[in-house]
Amino acid sequence: MRAVALDVGETLIRDDRGWAAWADWLGVPRHTLSALVGAVVAQGRDNADAVRMLRPGIDVAAERAAMEAAGMGAPLEEADLYPDVRPALAAVREAGARVIVAGNQTAEAAERLRALRLPVDAVATSGEWGVAKPVAEFFARVVELAGVPAGEVLYVGDHPANDVAPARAAGLRTAHLRRGPLGYLWADTAGADWSIGSLHDLASIVGLVGRRHAVGRQDAKSEGAR
């Protein structure tokens, strides 16, 4: 495993502050929006449908831009990161793998992620690429950014339909993270190569796969010498 690529929402960052900002912007109790998000997630729908239910016909991207322009969508902060992010990603790099961040986020979010100076080699988002998960082109871009063959890239995320299934279809290895509403709700149906409860598990996966490859190469050399 020569590269690890990670989703953003509920993989690296908590989404609760973002949803709270949406509720305040739309003028509804935070619990109301939270409950609606849970409902649409349980139905297998896009979680932005919760916003659309509250305001039918809304242009979510345009409204998000207006909200951020009004100062209600606060920039990403260190406190938004899950506690395991920095040490776990640093450990993956120490294990010899390239680490990249690639998720469905705006171009502005990409800049904010870069400003956090995470221990990663690259950051890219759907807003910058003009293509979003789960389409195949997104994962082709991930592989290109990783700079190694698809089978040597591990994609990590919480969403089986957006992360695991399309990444596997594109030839990447996958790890499903049991984190956030989607991560817990669909854990039994993720179908990933690995199911993990923390990003700390990634370094051991990278190391395990690396050792298997090394053993395989050594066995091949031994056969050739006979």
202 pLDDT exceeds 90? Answer: yes
Tens of pLDDT, residues 60-93: 888 988 887 887 766 688 999 999 999 999 999 9
Decide yes or no: CATH 3.40.50.1000 for domain 3-12+80-224. Answer: yes
Angle subtended at Cα 147 by Cα 86 and Cα 172, rounded to the nearest 5 degrees: 80
Confidence of residue 213 (pLDDT cuts 50, 70, 90): low
Instruction: Using the predicted structure, report yes or no on whether residue 48 has a pLDDT greater than 60.
Output: yes
How far apart, in whole angstroms, are the C-alpha atoms of residue 31 and residue 179? 20
In this predicted structure, what is the pLDDT of residue 222? 44
pLDDT of residue 152: 97
If one compares 53 and 18, the residue with the highest pLDDT of the two is 53
Q: What are phi and psi of 6, to 5 degrees?
A: -125, 140
Rounded Cα gap, residues 110 and 8, in angstroms: 10
Structure confidence by residue, pLDDT tens digits, 139-169: 999 999 999 999 999 999 999 989 999 999 9
Question: For the whole prediction, is pTM greater than 0.75?
Answer: yes
Q: What does DSSP assign to residue 191?
A: -
Residue position matching structure tokens 């919480």: 158
Domain boundary assignment for the chain: 3-12+80-224, 16-69
pLDDT of residue 220: 43
Residue type, 187: A
Q: What is the mean pLDDT of residues 84-109?
A: 95
